[in-house]
Amino acid sequence: MRMKKALVTGGAGFIGSNIASALLKLKVQVIVLDNLSTGYLQNVQTDENALFIQGDVRDDLTALQALRGIDTIFHLAASVGNRRSFLDPMADSEVNVLGTLRVMEAAKHFSVSKIVYSSSAGIFGELKTLPIREDHPLDPDSYYGVSKLAAEKHLWAFHKMTGVSVVCLRYFNAYGRNQRYDAYGNVIPIFADRIVKREKLIIYGDGEQTRDFINVDDVVTANLIAATSDRSGIYNTSSGEAITINKLAEMMQETDEARVGVEYAAPRIGDVRHSRADVSAIGRELGFQPQVSLKEGLRDYMQWLRQDPISLDRIAEQSGE
């Protein structure tokens, strides 16, 4: 399937902006839809093939405006994170579930041919078996996991009822360029922010919990493959390798040559103990294989962070410089 015009919801955010940039390099016309609640206008490229719409996926008129003439949707707009969902479960479901339904209805109206949905490993909850296959029991431990699972189920039902091709990519822990500090977000930008400020890294629990990280360049590749494939399906999308948070803290300090030390705090509600993806299905059926090692990805991310004016302004402001 060849893309001509694509919509990227949440396209001013971390992963969405990287997907939009990759599409523009392929000379695909791109519509970026984002309400800028967590995204950044600076992430949106100025290009003759790009159009930015500031709006919310929960608004049906906005969704209809954004989808006119679109053949492919990359749906990333979301309220992200376990802690954020715990503090405001209503907003979490409004964005993640109702927003997805709005996009689906608009996609049906305009006869969109492909939807690639950014899902989450948060749908699994505490693990029964490792590594996690796609058929692992779905028992989320957070409102966020519940809302992402609900959106997945809606999209898959939409696929079965309409015949529209749908691919759901279940990211584990994505990191990389354009990912800025968020107190509710991924551990890597949180650690990176503290390293740059020369503050101790805070680890919740004993640090022996494990996570499976994937670089955003690999996430983008998976999205492009999914969009151009003639398949529909639900796939784990990660590196397939696990690392403890203690080891991650050590690696990140070594990468930046900064020994800031570690401080331990009580475990957080909704955090699973272990996580590692079985990525054999996406490799077998879509031909996707992750290419960026964690060591290489962390080095590149720290280099990007030290050149990002938004992050550096925030750090300087917090440091009183």
Domain ranges of the chain: 5-175+214-237, 187-210+241-319
| Contact (Cβ atoms closer than 8 angstroms) between residue 173 and residue 212 | yes
pLDDT band at 251 (very low <50, low <70, confident <90, very high): very high
Say yes or no to pLDDT of 67 above 70.
Answer: yes
The sign one gets for the Cα dihedral 297, 302, 303, 309 is: positive
Residue 319 pLDDT: 66
Structure tokens at 301: 């991310």
Q: Which of 143, 144, 175, 301 is catalytic?
A: 144
Structure tokens at 29: 């016309």
Give per-residue pLDDT as tens, 203-247: 999 999 999 999 999 999 999 999 999 999 999 999 999 999 999
Supply the pTM of this predicted model: 0.95
pLDDT band at 256 (very low <50, low <70, confident <90, very high): confident
pLDDT band at 81 (very low <50, low <70, confident <90, very high): confident
Residue 321 pLDDT: 54
Phi–psi pair at 134, nearest 5 degrees: -60, -25
Question: According to the CATH classification, is domain 5-175+214-237 in 3.30.479.30?
Answer: no
| 258 class by beta-carbon count within 10 Å (0-12 exposed, 13-18 middle, 19+ buried) | middle
Looking at the DSSP assignment, which residues form a beta bridge with residue 215?
175
CA gap 308, 321 in Å, rounded = 17
Same CATH fold assignment for domains 5-175+214-237 and 187-210+241-319: no
Specify whether 144 is catalytic: yes
Say yes or no to pLDDT of 2 above 90.
Answer: no
Q: How much of the chain, in percent, has pLDDT values that exceed 90? A: 84
Sheet strands (E) in 109-212: 114-120, 165-171, 173-175, 201-204, 210-211
One of 3.40.50.10380, 3.40.50.720, 3.90.25.10, 3.90.230.10 is the CATH number of 187-210+241-319, namely 3.90.25.10
